[in-house]
Structure 1
Amino acid sequence: MLPDLDFYLVAVPAVLLVGLSKGGMGEALSLMGVPILSMAVSPVQAAALLLPILIAMDIVSLWFWRKHGDRKTLTMLLPGALAGIAIGWATSAYVPRDALRLIIGAITVVFVLRYVYTVWKSRSGAAILPKQHRLGPAALWGSFAGYGSFVAHAGGPPFQIYALPLKLDPREYTGTIVRFFATLNAVKLIPYFALGQLDTSNLLTSATLFPLAMVATACGAWIVRRMKPQVFYPFMYTMAFIAGSRLVWEGLGSLLAGI
């Protein structure tokens, strides 16, 4: 049986925001999906409902960005991310999600503030050079991205901490993040099924939102394709700051409420 109208009044804006994010407009919009949908259903069900929708969005995003993506970045980050998903699956019953949100959010906010300081310092003539690939940071932030994506749908900020300083071409960056999370979401289907979070009722409800999800994703891709680098990167760092701040707010608020 499908949900009532009240559910869709909440679900439609949630899916629109997540779709724009999947089109390439930043993880801050995506992080709004589960909290908004949780106004109508439980957080666990909200996460389960969104996963098939995310995969439908991934298919659209992969088509739009099929000619773009940085293979080296994916090669560096994916092994750690897959390990992070496995660790999240094994420890999902023991690790407080709110504490994870707080940690990831705080790290992301500091990362963006450091970028702002570097930009301010560059006004005196110091150049901001692209970072090079490094195996240790790639393994660390990749595992955080996989773990955060599995337990709290918060894998975007760790990915951005590693990938944004590389200063890839905006289209290559977007193609890379699309491929990265499309892979993670497909892999996450296995543990989500094993944990019993995907049943026939949830899948049917998710399917009713597929058309809206695809349109929103296409709109996000259309906007990002027209952004110049000097607009794209400040926008992405702003989105990372908003995402990190929201994670801190959610994690801290929930932890304090439990005291």
Structure 2
Amino acid sequence: MELTASFFAVAIPATIFAGISKGGFGSGAAFVATVLLVLVVSPAEALAVMLPLLMLMDATALRPYWRKWDGMAARWLVLGAVPGVVIGAMIFTVAPADVIALLIGVVALSFVAFQLVRSRGWLSLSGLPGGGGAGAFWGAVAGFTSFISHAGGPPAAVYLLSRGVGKERYQATTVIVFWAINLMKFALYAVLGTFSSATALADLVLAPFAILGVTLGVWLHRRVPERLFFGLTYAFLVAASLRLVWSALA
């Protein structure tokens, strides 16, 4: 992986955007950074660069939301994520790069479609089960999608929204859940040899921008309408994901 000016031209704003999502908007859009990075580096390199940055964002966001989470929901999501992360690692070891890029693009487009039908009132989550079994199931889905694309936010959102948690509790729960899931992923990424000296150097350069993004996210949490933030997110995701899917299929 070459750390060129074009790489940082994409990586810096993508990292800040991910930090804003982590710090103030439920983490659901944080994986937009991975989708954008796959446009300039391989999927494995994009995942390796973003994981330490996401972990740094988690650590930065823990303090303002400490102990404000839904404890029961967090436990079930984390427990369920264990088999999901393992399955993701198994697929990651055998799938070609184009397949991983295709999966990242499909997951991103599915996220946008899910948010669209929910915002239009075509899908209601209020009637879905919100107990431990449902938490384990959605945790497994979140663990899998998180491992292959850092996109565990949408499955976790289905479960948390079905429980009717408030905005702050929702945000705090996603922070603690993905702090734990990312620790699992880090160990497996290391075993699989995903990290390199180039990804480590990229992380050192991008780390201040990750902290800046989270700080901005916490500040913007009560100041910027979610509709505006996610509207921009969906536009980025659709454009980048269609490019990924087209390139992978071609």
Q: Is TM > 0.5 for Structure 1 vs Structure 2? A: yes
- Find the counterpart in structure 2 of residue 117 from structure 1: 121
Amino acid at match of 1:183: A
Shift of 1:36: 2.3
**Which residue pairs with 1:155 in the alignment?**
152
Give the Cα separation in 2 of the matches to 1:2 and 1:254: 21
Aligned-residue offset at 1:251: 7.0
What is the TM-score normalised by the length of structure 1?
A: 0.79
The offset of 1:165, in angstroms, is 2.5
Q: Which runs of 5+ in 2 are unaligned?
A: none
Alignment of 1:175 with 2:172, yes or no, is: yes
Cα distance in structure 2, aligned partners of 1:239 and 1:9: 18
Q: Which residue number in structure 1 is paired with residue 81 of structure 2?
A: 81
Aligned residues: 246
CA distance in 1, matches of 2:203, 2:149: 19
SS where residue 221 of structure 2 aligns?
helix
The separation in 1 between residues aligned to 2:235 and 2:171, in whole angstroms, is 18
Structure (1 or 2) with the larger CA radius of gyration:
1
Matches of 2:34 and 2:153, distance apart in 1 = 14
Answer yes or no: is 1:189 the counterpart of 2:193: no
Q: Indicate the residue corresponding to 1:214 in structure 2.
A: 211
Residue-by-residue CA offset, 1:137-159 (whole Å, 9 max, x unaligned): 32221111000100122211111
Whole-angstrom distance in 2 between the partners of 1:204 and 1:213: 14
Query: Which segment is superposed worse, 102-111 or 32-41?
Result: 102-111
User: Where do 1:1-259 residues align within 5 Å?
Assistant: 3-27=3-27, 29-94=29-94, 96-97=99-100, 98-99=102-103, 102=106, 105-106=109-110, 109-110=113-114, 112-114=116-118, 116-117=120-121, 133-226=130-223, 249=242, 252-253=245-246, 257-258=249-250
Contact conserved, 2:83 with 2:140, CA < 8 A, in 1? yes
**Contact preservation (8 Å) 1:108, 1:161:** no
Structure 1: give runs of 5+ residues left out of the alignment.
122-127
SS of 1:93's partner is helix
Q: Deviations over 1:87-141 (max 9, x none)?
A: 111232345432575368447735752563369x9xxxxxx95765223332221
Query: Is the Cα contact below 8 Å between 1:108 and 1:157 reproduced in 2?
Result: no
Identity %: 27
Question: Residues of 2 paired with 1:61 and 1:19: CA distance?
Answer: 9
Q: Distance in 2 between matches of 1:39 and 1:181?
A: 24
Name the counterpart of 1:124.
none
- CA deviations 1:32-58 (Å, max 9, x no partner) are 212322344322212111111111111
Equivalent residue letter for 1:224: H
Q: CA RMSD in A?
A: 3.4
8 Å CA contact retained: 2:15, 2:210: yes
